[in-house]
Amino acid sequence: MTGRRSAAVTDRADPTLWPTVAWPTLSGDQQKIFRAREEAVRLYCQRASLRAIEAATGVPFSSVRRLYERCLQTHADGRLQGLRALVPYEHVKSYRRSATSVRSGPAGKAGAFQQLLERHPELEVLIVHELQAHHVVLRDGPNGLVVSGLSALHKRFRLLCLELGLTQRDYPLVQHEQGIRSLAAAVKSIATRSFELAARAALAQKRSGGVRPNAEGLPLVATIPFDAVEFDGHRVDVRLRIVFERVAGVEESFEIDRVWLLSIIDICSRAILGYHIVLEPEYSRFDVLKTVERALVPWRPPALTIPGLRFASGAGMPSERFPELGYALWNLFRFDNAKANLAEDTLRVLTDIVGCGVHAGPAYRPNERPHIERFFGMLASVLAHRLPGTTGTGPADPRRHLAELTGTAPAVVRLDELMELTAVAIANYNAASHTSLGGRSPLEMLGYYLREKQSALRWLAEPMRRNLCLLQHEHEGHVRGSIVKGVRPYIHFFGARYTSHALAGRADLIGKPVLLYFDTEDVRALRVFDAAGRELCGLCRVVDPKTEFSRKGTGVPQTGRTCAASA
């Protein structure tokens, strides 16, 4: 044998990157053999001659190439065998049956079922489908996993074998039990190839611990602020009676049993960048985009009117405590598969305007977004669960039973008071120490990276800062009016009339299509653009003063939305 090697093989062989072996755990004789083989393969990768390798290690020159090729074989974990293939008396290949026929009787059938699945892939497809459809379930037994629903699967398996042309003289139909034991072993083997499939087959309610294999492209840890953020919506555990001003300053109230808090948290520092309150049965894409906007715009603390309510020392939001974080952009946005998150408008803003990558993890998997979920748990303990109208953490929560037994009425909270309570709770959270941050607070961690390590940041372009309404979806409309009847140009939008001094003098715009942008929290004013995207006439404001009162602090008017608040 010559010492020449294939360039394609040798160039990709780097023993330092191979899986290794904890050789001190081997016996004395095994250690000696393994260390000699390891040195021989290492010298072979360095292009040493086979005779020199034999002289240095004692490994026969005729075995060096064979050992090297063993290292390049694929392990069951999907990686190279590496140095694991050099352990004495270890098999690197699984058994593969070569005989094509199966003898009758109890013996001589090793590998026959696996050979059957390889010849007829439709049979393995059937097993996988039955596992995914929960027709076959894995359960814990005294001696390991037990397959439930095996009899029904075996019946379908036998019928498919007959459809594929197998007869009663072929394996497994020729057997006394027709392969039911081998089928059970195959089900467990196929199910345990991946944790997701095995957990699904076992009807696991959640998957915890570690990361999902298909999240390989995602960074496990955000190493700097704004490297990655998490977004989610949390249903606040409280029933409220909201009081706010309607027409001409008249107060109105209504009871709600669902309050949503949408938040964005920076993974590295654990700081809340922005939040948004929604008083709706479900939040929409408008609310997701409003939360993104609030995370970008510099925060201003609200004036507190509730007696005894105050911010803790050093509390606040990142964009308020560190002016350079105003309009700072993140690189990765993580959320679940809620429809509002995957809406076209949401993805357009995140990818085209914010310029970040998006990762839509599975819904109802809190472990996929642990940081935002932990924040929601903390906020519930310091805010929602301390209000009289709390619903607790679930039907079994004693606080919920206490409220039902005592007939406690929903807490009467003004909309501005709810905003104050939320602002103080979140600002104080940003200033509280975290054990995962080594005793630092999120704001202190941000200050460390900004002041000490001078982390690089991206910012929103200056022209976009002046036109944040473009984050929202545009609405199509037409300019109305009549020259003959003397009606000046105006825009009719959701039952109200909007105009401006500039629009009222533009007779040429009557009947022309326009694009309308507005703040989803305050639709007293519209930004008007022509069909080509050029701005027209400045701000158009609502004409009717009564309508102006009714639209202040509300969402999209007359469409079922009630009110919302952000910070």
> What are the domain boundaries of the chain?
7-86, 112-201, 214-461, 474-566
Among residues 65, 39, 33, 37, the alpha carbon closest in space to that of 50 is found at 65
Per-residue buried b or exposed e for 501-532, using 16+ beta carbons within 10 Å of the residue's own CB: eebeebeebbeeebbbbbbbbebbbbbbbeee
> H or E element: which one contains 461?
none
- CATH 3.30.420.10 describes domain 214-461: yes
Beta bridge partners of 147: 138
Cβ–Cβ contacts within 10 Å for residue 116, how many? 22
pLDDT reported for residue 403? 56
Q: Are 41 and 72 in contact (CB under 8 A)?
A: no
Task: List the structure tokens of 539.
Answer: 């701000």
Low-confidence ranges of the chain (pLDDT < 70): 1-13, 94-109, 196, 200, 203-221, 244-249, 362-367, 384-413, 544-567
- In DSSP terms, 328 is beta-bridged to 459
At 146, which amino acid appears? Answer: V
Contacts of 119-126 with CB under 8 Å at 24 or more apart are 120/161, 120/164, 122/160, 122/164, 123/157, 123/160, 123/161, 123/164, 124/186, 124/190, 126/156, 126/157, 126/160
**Cα(83)–Cα(56) distance, rounded to whole angstroms?**
19
Position 547 scores a pLDDT of 53
C-alpha–C-alpha distance, residues 44 and 48, integer Å: 5
Dihedral of CA 247/248/252/256: which sign? positive
Contact (CB, 8 A) for 192 and 200: no
Instruction: Give the whole-angstrom CA distance, residue 287 versus residue 178.
Output: 59
Contact, 179 vs 160, CB < 8 A?
no
Dihedral angle sign, alpha carbons of residues 70, 71, 76, 79: negative
Per-residue DSSP letter, 401: H
Please say whether the beta carbons of 381 and 343 come within 8 A: no
Helices (H), 96-194: 112-119, 121-132, 150-163, 180-191
What pLDDT was estimated at residue 292? Answer: 94
